[in-house]
Amino acid sequence: MTSGRFQQLAHWGAYTAVVENGRLAACEPFARDPAPSPMLAAIPAMVHSPLRVQRPAVRTGWLARRATGGRGADGYVEVSWDRALSLVAEELARVRAERGPEAIFGGSYGWSSAGRFHHARTQVRRFLFSGGGCTDAVGNYSWGAAQFLLPHVIGTHEPVSGRVTDWNSVIGSTRLVIAFGGLALKNGQVTSGGAGAHTMEAWLRRARAAGIAFVVISPDRADTPAFLEAQWLAPRPNTDTALLLGMAHTLLAEGLHARAFLDSHCSGFPTLARYLAGTDDGRPKDADWAAAICGIDAATIRALARQAAATRTLLTMAWALQRAHRGEQPYWALVALAAMLGQIGLPGGGFAFGHGSMNGVGNPRRDVPSPEFPSGPNPAGRAVPVARLTDMLERPGAAFDFNGRRDTYPDIDLVYWAGGNPFHHHQDLNRLVRAWDKPSTIVVHESWWTPAARRADIVLPATTPLERDDIGGSSRDAYLFAMQRAIAPVGAARDDVDIFRELAARAGHEDAFTAGRDTPGWLRELWRRVVEGAGAAGADLPDYDAFVARGWVELPAPARDHVMFEAFRADPAAHPLRTPSGRIELASATIAAFGYADCPPHPAWLAPAEWLGDAAARAFPLHLVTVQPRDRLHSQMDPGPLSQAGKVAGRERLRIHPDDARARGLADGALARVFNRRGACLAGVAVDAAVRPGVVVMATGAWYDPGPDGLERGGNPNVLSLDVGTSSLTQGPSALSVLVEVERWNGAAPAVEAYRPPPLAREDAVPPPARQDDGAPPR
């Protein structure tokens, strides 16, 4: 049996895997990490969990008669790898021949591994693309609205997807940070691609020690670290746009706006100014107007605008604010307010996104590429916005608008999913479950019996990062890691790449998939590309063998602070933005030409479909805010010991203000039913004065566990969320526009079943299905 110590990396941090007698015994945090995540301690129990998928498995109803009903309820038959791969290969060939590549949905989505070669979504897309293509997914759930809005406004989505002004520049120059959506330290545990150093708290403490004042705008005081001594403003959820416009009106009305910058670096300000003044609609968007919408008094709004204009100010906004109906508007309004302040491109000034959303935002880092396995082009040329998954399954052939084009949804007959859990991140899960029954076949690669695996027809057991070699690293972190295989694959698990290689061989496109390289060959090639990119950035990195021998490298610090849009500010003619005007577009002729009634050509207040100012609030008077959990990553490791220890009454916790709890007869530890017209779930009550009255807060990621009556038993709030696009422009998720009611649960507490494997039988114990005259299995 193998014992030893092995370098590894997860999205919640780098660590040394301590292996004793072939089992993972402990995860020791990376020695250079100043604030390791406690989530590392939960890894051993998950790696050796009884929920691991041990062998390939086929759902009983599908195996017997290709029935689509029964997903989520049926048991499974464990089969040999040869039979499982034969079934998958036959289904792929059938669908391609009968319906074409667009009938295969390969938009698999999820964080999966921190390793860049064994990144599951990249692997499944490369496999399907090399075999003729599929329907892909574009965008993401994290910042999908921003991804497609910001290029129209500033020519790029880099300020949300990549670098913003470095913390060193902020600490040296900024005097005021206004953080819309908060600066929650729990979100700083996670970095996409993994991190050697958790730096969020350290940077915030340095900023406060430097005398920077903070204003945090969020309905939840827990989004504000106490050591910041921040002013806390708690607006109604989904009303930040009105607050921003009220501040912008104050600047305009009092002559505090930066006229010269607006003239030289911006396009469309006269149009925005007409809107702010109410020239066309007769209603100025002043602080009094904003106060009536957002619930923050007008004097505070005016004072905050004046304070921002009087000093070097950084406006930052969490990703969460654009995950709401009309989520484009707060992002556009933030850019507009920053432009009116005139500090974009100055050290420590302007705007940024994501400081409160993930570790590493603002980290100084040499511009060295992270390792990336290429998926290649999609020959089918079809894609749908990722958050429109249910619409696509429900309405084949229906038209939809997206970013200036009109398209139709394909008729999906096969879903191929690897490395993610749609029954965590998608909205209105009860609706998704119904749509999920439409395709003939669903194939899932999984390491555990997750809600997605339990709703698949063919489940192929995949290795975890600890069971394979890889390369990891993030564009927001200064470290790159050689991830070392620490234990043998659990059960019959295989690497995704090996599964796809064999399927590609059966279909005749193995060479296109592998490009003639095995896994060691690809790892060397990925590192060669990193070394080449590092050299172009003035950083020397060791060769692959030396890198693997050490286990990690640290990139050299950048030569100077990065200030976002510094070159553009210095000379907008020489360094234009990639917008039609080359400037910041405060009004967009391109968006105007699209003609979308739900996305005007300038930032504007558009009431969301559900909010506390809506008439629907009489029936459902509480706004549900869903957040990233503090004890897992999304739904990853929800069955693990850390996540389970944080449950209340055995369910996900529901934080509620004392006044709202008292009115409903709720006390700490009580079991409650949270409901609206879309669904209901159970939750454990945590009474908390840090939550704004009229607001309740739940973390996402509890494993979806509907009972026979439809009641979700474990506390997954996405049975309640609204599944409509943010707008016709971006079609992002509207997860944070949700009204609910809460009542005490007085019945017996139903058991949570999601943490048990489904019924499993061995292939030799199941009689073969009846055959038709042509020898084909019945359909």
Catalytic site residues? 109, 111
Identify whether the C-beta of residue 145 lies closer than 8 Å to the C-beta of residue 321: no
**Alpha carbon distances (Å) from 733 to 68, 388, 403, 434, 502:** 27, 8, 15, 19, 36
Q: Phi, psi (5° rounding) for residue 524?
A: -65, -40
Tokens of 325: 């109906």
Alpha carbons 740 and 648: distance in angstroms, whole number: 20
Q: Which is nearest to 235 in space by CA: 276, 280, 178, 313? A: 178
HEC string of 408-444 equals ECCCCCEEEEECCCHHHHCCCHHHHHHHHCCCCEEEE
Q: Is the dihedral of CA 26, 27, 32, 34 positive or negative?
A: negative
Identify whether the C-beta of residue 349 lies closer than 8 Å to the C-beta of residue 314: yes
Alpha carbons 422 and 429: distance in angstroms, whole number: 9
Instruction: Give the β-pairing of 671-675 and 739-744.
Output: antiparallel
Angle between helices 120-130 and 496-507 (to 10 degrees): 10
Q: How many Cβ atoms are within 10 Å of 401's Cβ, its own excluded?
A: 18
Question: Which residue in the block uniquely carries the two structure tokens 């509907």?
Answer: 706
Report which secondary-structure segment, H or E, holds 184: none
Q: Which is nearest to 238 in space by CA: 322, 141, 298? A: 322
Q: Is 7 helix (H, G, I), strand (E, B) or coil?
A: strand
Instruction: Give the β-pairing of 405-408 and 399-402.
Output: antiparallel
DSSP 692: P
Q: How many Cβ atoms are within 10 Å of 641's Cβ, its own excluded?
A: 14
Alpha carbons 713 and 755: distance in angstroms, whole number: 12
Q: Is 41 exposed, middle or buried (0-12, 13-18, 19+ CB in 10 A)?
A: middle
Residue ranges in 266-397 assigned as alpha helix (H): 269-277, 287-294, 298-309, 328-341, 389-394
Tokens of 703: 């494993």
Question: Which residue in the block uniquely carries the two structure tokens 């709703």?
Answer: 455
Identify whether the C-beta of residue 117 lies closer than 8 Å to the C-beta of residue 523: yes
116 Cβ contact partners less than 8 Å away, ≥ 6 residues apart: 122, 193, 370, 371, 372, 373, 470, 471, 472, 473, 526
Alpha carbons 349 and 212: distance in angstroms, whole number: 12
Identify whether the C-beta of residue 473 lies closer than 8 Å to the C-beta of residue 554: no
